Amino acid sequence: MIKHCLFPAAGYGTRFLPATKSMPKEMMPIVNKPLIEYGVDEAIQAGMTSMAVVTGRGKSSLMDHFDKNYELEHQIQDTNKEPLLDDIRSLIDSAHYTFIRQREMKGLGHAILTGKELVGDNPFAVVLADDLCINESQGVLEQMAALFRQFRCSIVAVEEVPESETHKYGVIAGEHLSDDLIRITDMVEKPEQGSAPSNLAIIGRYILTPDIFDILEETEPGKGGEIQITDALLKQAQSGCVIAYKFKGKRFDCGSVEGYIDATNYCYEHVYLKGSKVSINKSSTKKL
């Protein structure tokens, strides 16, 4: 069983300035929940109980969100607004939360390496919270955790993207084991336009075996002068096995304004309105 889930959350979120000037991008709401809460929910549904967040300066609201707020609890106790806290209370009670600061911005690989102290010598999941994944019957991490039990190696979630978009992602190539599983033989971080090895882009869900930390320690800065998880995973694929999985579900790039709006519209209709507490939400959110 995978117990740990790592959330790299130290980035500046510059694409959403000025909204992210003093608020972490992971706290931007999709309808009534911050982005990171969707990721934590997905991890808990997959059976994970240890949430490890890699933060940076100005990110203390992430810590506060996953802690009790006694003043607020006291204020809304026994009012019709109290059920609005049910979901977050349940997430707080279902897992424990640890935080570590990434002091230098040296890329996603470096952020993951910073989380080593929190994760230890265990396989772990990684969630990039600005990729919001929705599958109402089985979350993407749960799908990947089941594959991990089968393959016992690192797994990355991939999605087909138009060729014109491949330069925004890590892109993989390899041998198809089935329609939705590929054994990776090549991986390139943000390839130049026209040079991608395929149109299969890595999205922000990974399961990593702990030997990735040793590899990351040896990984030289790559694209953009940053330590890239894609480069470390290619080494792991070449010396062992890394599987790419075409996940089932929808994914929204909430790091872009268009993706954020699409996610908001989709979640309003398919998550918020379908939620069990909708009548309470509707009547009470107006007054909040």
Alpha-helix residue ranges (DSSP H) falling in 138-256:
140-151, 212-218, 229-239
Smallest separation (angstroms) from ligand G1P to the CB of 81? 35
Peptide bond into 34 cis (omega under 30): no
- Select the span of 57-65, 77-85, 202-210, 258-266 touching ligand G1P (CB under 6 A): 202-210
The amino acid occupying position 82 is: E
Closest CB to ligand G1P among residues 50, 230: 230
206: contact with ligand G1P by CB under 6 A: no
Q: Are 284 and 81 in contact (CB under 8 A)?
A: yes
Closest CB to ligand G1P among residues 148, 169: 169
Smallest separation (angstroms) from ligand G1P to the CB of 276? 31
Smallest separation (angstroms) from ligand G1P to the CB of 30? 16
Three-state DSSP state, 133: strand
Which of 189, 207, 227, 272 is close enough to bind ligand G1P by CB under 6 A?
189
Which of 201, 207, 242, 243 is close enough to bind ligand G1P by CB under 6 A?
201
Q: How far is CA 80 from the centre of its chain?
A: 32
Smallest separation (angstroms) from ligand G1P to the CB of 268? 23
Q: How far is CA 49 from the centre of its chain?
A: 15
Closest CB to ligand G1P among residues 46, 126: 126
Peptide bond into 210 cis (omega under 30): no
- Select the span of 45-53, 70-78, 200-208, 265-273 touching ligand G1P (CB under 6 A): 200-208
- Select the span of 29-37, 48-56, 113-121, 197-205 touching ligand G1P (CB under 6 A): 197-205
Tell me which residue of 44, 72, 59 sits closest to 10, measured CA to CA.
59
Pairing of strands 4-8, 50-55: parallel
Tell me which residue of 5, 69, 2, 15 sits closest to 36, measured CA to CA.
5
226 to 245, contacts with ligand G1P by CB under 6 A? 228, 230
Both ends of the chain: CA-CA distance in Å?
40
Closest CB to ligand G1P among residues 88, 131: 131
Closest CB to ligand G1P among residues 184, 203: 203
Q: How far is CA 175 from the centre of its chain?
A: 26
116 to 175, contacts with ligand G1P by CB under 6 A? 128, 131, 169-170
Show the tokens assigned to 233: 């995973």
∠ CA 16-165-156, nearest 5°, is 90
Residues near ligand G1P (CB under 6 A): 108, 128, 131, 169-170, 189, 201-204, 228, 230
